[in-house]
A and B are shown apart, each in its own frame.
Chain A
Amino acid sequence: MSIKPGITFKAVSLFLLLSVSILTAVHLYSYLVSRRIIVDMAEQNSRGIGGTIVHQIAARITPVETIIRNIAATLENPDLSDEAIFELTRSIVARNEAIFASAVAFEPYAMIDDQLYFAPYSYRSGDQIVTKQLGGADYRYFHQDWYQLPRLLDRGVWTEPYYDTGGGDILMATYAVPFYRTHKDGSRQPVGVVTADISLAWLQQLLAGIELYDSGYAALLSSSGMFLYHPDQQLVLNETIFSLAESLGDRELWEIGKDAIAGGSGFLERVSYQNRQPSFFYYRPLPVGDWSLCFLFPRAEVLRDITGLTRTTLVINLLGFLVLALAITWLTRRLTRPLINLSHAARSIAGGNLETPMPTHGGNDELGQLTVSFSEMQRSLRDHIEQLTETTASKERIEAELRIARNIQMSILPKLFPPYPERSEFDIFASIKPAREIGGDLYDFFFLDQHHFCFLIGDVSDKGVPAAFFMAVTKTLLKVVADQYPDPGAILTKVNNDLAEGNESCMFVTLFIGVLDLRTGRLVTGNAGHNPPVRLAAGTEPALLPSPQEPLAGAMSGITYTSQEVLLAPGDFLFLYTDGVTEAVSADGTFYGEERLLREISAAGAQRAEQLVGAVDRSVNDFCSGAEQFDDITMLCLRFIAPTDRETTAATADENAASATLAATGERDTITVELRFGTKLTALDDLVGGLAPLKTDGQLTERDHYQMRLALDELITNTVSYGFATGTGSGIEVTITLWPGHRYRIVYRDDAPPFDPVTVSVDPEQRSTEAANFGGLGISLVTTIMDAIDYRWKDGHNVITMTKNLTDRPDNDNQHHREMA
């Protein structure tokens, strides 16, 4: 995504937002102020027009009022005759064009003693002036408004206007003034009322002619609120402002009417009752008859100019904003274009193309500096990567050399198993699993002579190439020294001195050396600070081999190491390991530990050295799954199967007289039984007879005898049923060697086709369901009974060598219980 629209968009938005806000505020303010001024002007205008109208009305009305008042003064003269008064009314009408009619009405009996009514009345009829007497039973004028009101109020009064039905629907109004005469007792007494009727048609024309904006109009209210003039003729003399307010439910109008007839004036904004438009309303009193003048004109017309102005301004502003937005867009694009070019270049560099040309940006502004900085960064990156490439190449070379060194180091350890297939006395297996970093673990094994087998394990206390060298030196030295010194203690003493001499780098090695006499099982060991090996004797729990606390080798010369002795029984395992095993770390940081190792060895149920190493190796692997291996993991396992048998001993007697003598002394206490069997199952009956003496002699307990018979029974059955059944083979030879009270060994030979019973293993749980597959059951019994069993194919014979510690021998009381469990 490009950064260009981002900046432009933001700039345009910000500028426009600010401009619009400011201009809106200014416009709003100016609109409100202008509006107020215009409304004020409208009010002034209303007042001006109102004033003019008042003047015009006054100019028409005031002379009439003056005339009538003067007549009233004249009538106070008591000497006026009837005729004079008749003539007076006539002359008032005749002389004043504005006056339509005039009357002089007297109090009852006031003019003529016996005449109730006296009221001469003159009025226009066409071009004539008609004079007549008012009053009579049908027109008792004393009770008319025009007569009563002036007398009561003691002043001139305008009556409510009315339509003159006789004179052609002309709106008329009457002005009446009371007049007085002095009584005989000197008091002033009202004696009558003089009136003048005038037409209001001119007033209506005057009001209709008023122009208030486009559709504004004027209205006239009487003192009782009656409409005297309104553009709507329906209202005139039919409705009052109060009845209108009532029918509209307009409380405000009602209040206005009340204020108006009380002589008030006002200017306010209200909604027109006719078209619901917001309008201005102005009212003021007239100097005639307590009447009121009202104006009403729409607000829109008043404000038309300012509204138009506002609209125009808005359009101008919008156009202005558009121009402004275009200008800002253009400007920001112009400013950000170099930035975008630079960004493209940077992305190209980030993508790995270090040769991307930098955009040229003239000028020394911030962008110019940024471009220069980028160019420098690009150059530095290029240099750095070149340097890194060289370094990596040399590091790879070193690593390759280290790998080769590692391979060489590993290749000096014996890796071929089984190493001595011809030897039936023992079985050995070793494994080393190197850590990523070069370590210094070592192991080795070799024959010192025909009967003495030396095996060792060690761990140089450091890592890296120096440790590898030290390990190679140690191994070579051990091989040479072991041949020349009689026992492991002496070997360690010599090796320690040799290593310590010239050990500039102060490296140490822990070592365990064992030398096993294959004829007797006697094992001599020496230990220089190494983890004690585990011994697994048949029928017991595995235990650490007791070991003296002697220092590791190579640190200090002059140390004398001692040797220890232990007798291995046939079937015993000896498990040697380095601390790579016990200090293997799991993913959650715990150590594998000695206890776990002993548990695993116990649970492995191994029959061979390789099986035991494999079991421990799997266990360590599972334990460490996911965690890095820090140290070499090295294991060596030796299983003592059986002492060297006599034939071998005899055959080699000439070669080594000392060994032969030892063997001879060892066999003094043994009992040997040799049996031969044919190829039929009748061999089983022969077996019963052949073993009988061992039981009757008391050399075997009933249980051991039973188990020996059962083991041989199963092997013979197996050989006869499966081996000889194919037609080849001539028989079976069994040699039983018994160490009374301790153990026995059976060597079972047949010349049937090769068959290794040791590899046959059947899970007991499967037997009940797999009724047809019983093949492994017998062999399984054999391996259960025997402590150690070994198979070889030798000289055309199957040779099975088995050893068993006697169940009831004194040092193994728990044997019976274990098997029962």
Chain B
Amino acid sequence: MKYTWTSEADCDILEISGNLDSNSAPAVSQCLDEYCAGTPRNLIIDLAQVDYISSAGLRVVIKVNHTQTATGKKVMLCGLKEYVREVFDMAGLSRILDIRDDRQAALA
């Protein structure tokens, strides 16, 4: 699992690749905690390269969404693969989180 940061005009993008399970989630979580502790802007999390996500990964997303929303910043998810998307559906999170098809849709 690895992740990379990029910045656009009015937002930051975190691109994650690999599996997002109990093993890898803490690293991403810590990275996002640090980001939120700094000067966060609107955030796009690109999951196009994530093949697998478990509830540990969902928790990371829920947590950053919670923190950002509290300060009036947005969190968008994009590029979810079919089965990853189904996990969000099963957990009932699709209605709560802002999920876009791909990065272009998120930046629009």
Contact = CB atoms under 8 A, between A and B. Distances in A.
Nearest to A720: B22
Contact of A721 (B21, B22, B63, B66): B22
A714 B83 contact: no
A713 B91 contact: no
A777 B91 contact: yes
Nearest to A702: B83
Interface in B10-30: 19, 21-23
Contact of A819 (B52, B59, B65, B89): B89
A152 B19 CA distance: 164
Given A765-B92, A781-B90, A819-B89, A774 B62 contact: yes
Interface in B83-108: 83, 86-87, 89-93, 96
Given A777-B58, A781-B55, A684 B90 contact: no
B83 A706 contact: yes
B32 interface: no
B55 A771 contact: no
B56 interface: yes
Interface string B15-58: 00001011100000000000000000000000000001011101
Contacts of B65: 768
Interface in A696-716: 702-703, 706-707, 709-710, 713-714
A82 B66 CA distance: 165
B23 A685 contact: yes
Contacts of A721: 22
A722 to B, nearest CB: 12
A774 B59 contact: yes
A767 interface: yes
Contacts of A764: 91-93
A717 B93 CA distance: 21
Contacts of A765: 92
Contacts of A819: 86, 89-90
A631 B22 CA distance: 55
Nearest to A766: B92
A681 interface: yes
Contacts of A703: 82-83, 86
Given A684-B23, A778-B55, A768 B96 contact: yes
B21 A684 contact: yes
A771 B63 contact: yes
A765 B94 CA distance: 11
Most A CB atoms within 10 A — which of B22, B55, B93? B55
Tell me what chain B mostly uses at the interface: helix, strand, loop, or mixed: helix
Contacts of B62: 767-768, 771, 774
B97 to A, nearest CB: 8
A682 interface: yes
Contacts of B56: 717, 778
B86 A767 contact: no
B81 to A, nearest CB: 10
A717 B63 CA distance: 19
A765 B63 CA distance: 15
A778 B93 CA distance: 13
Interface string A748-787: 0000000000000000110111010010011011001100
Contact of A684 (B22, B89, B91): B22
B91 A767 contact: yes
Contacts of B91: 764, 767, 777, 780-781
Given A768-B62, A778-B54, A713 B21 contact: yes
A84 interface: no
A774 B86 contact: no
Interface string A524-549: 00000000000000000000000000
A820 interface: yes
Contact of A768 (B22, B54, B93): B93
Contacts of B90: 781, 784-785, 819
Contacts of A681: 22-23
B63 A710 contact: no
B89 A820 contact: yes
Contacts of A780: 91
Interface residues of B, number: 24
Nearest to B60: A774
Give the secondary structure class of A's interface.
Answer: helix
A777 B62 CA distance: 11
A781 B92 CA distance: 10
Q: A707, A720, A765, A768 — which one has the most chain B CB atoms within 10 A of its CB?
A: A768
B59 A777 contact: yes
A58 to B, nearest CB: 137
Interface in A791-821: 819-820
B66 A768 contact: yes
Contacts of B63: 771
B49 to A, nearest CB: 16
B91 to A, nearest CB: 6
A710 B54 contact: yes
A717 B54 contact: yes
Nearest to A710: B54
B83 A820 contact: no
Interface string A112-131: 00000000000000000000
B59 to A, nearest CB: 5
Contacts of B83: 702-703, 706-707
Contact of A709 (B52, B55, B93): B52
Contacts of B82: 703
A714 B52 contact: no
Contacts of B86: 703, 706, 819-820
A767 B93 CA distance: 8
A714 B66 contact: no
Contacts of B92: 764-765, 767
A688 B24 CA distance: 14
Contacts of A713: 21-22, 54
A559 to B, nearest CB: 51
Nearest to A706: B83
Contacts of B93: 764, 767-768
A778 B87 CA distance: 11
A612 B65 CA distance: 37
B22 A706 contact: no
B54 A714 contact: yes
Contacts of A707: 83
A677 B19 CA distance: 19
Contacts of A781: 54-55, 87, 90-91
B43 to A, nearest CB: 16
A681 to B, nearest CB: 5
A721 B25 CA distance: 14
A785 B91 CA distance: 10
Interface string B55-77: 11011001101100000000000
Closest 10 CB pairs of A and B: A764-B92, A778-B55, A706-B83, A771-B66, A717-B22, A777-B55, A768-B96, A774-B59, A784-B90, A713-B54
16 contacts: A688-B19, A702-B83, A703-B86, A707-B83, A713-B21, A764-B92, A764-B93, A767-B92, A768-B62, A768-B66, A771-B63, A774-B59, A774-B62, A781-B90, A819-B86, A819-B90
Given A702-B83, A777-B59, A781-B90, 4 more contacts: A684-B22, A710-B52, A717-B56, A820-B89
Interface of B: 19, 21-23, 52, 54-56, 58-59, 62-63, 65-66, 82-83, 86-87, 89-93, 96
Interface of A: 681-682, 684-685, 688, 702-703, 706-707, 709-710, 713-714, 717, 720-721, 764-765, 767-769, 771, 774, 777-778, 780-781, 784-785, 819-820
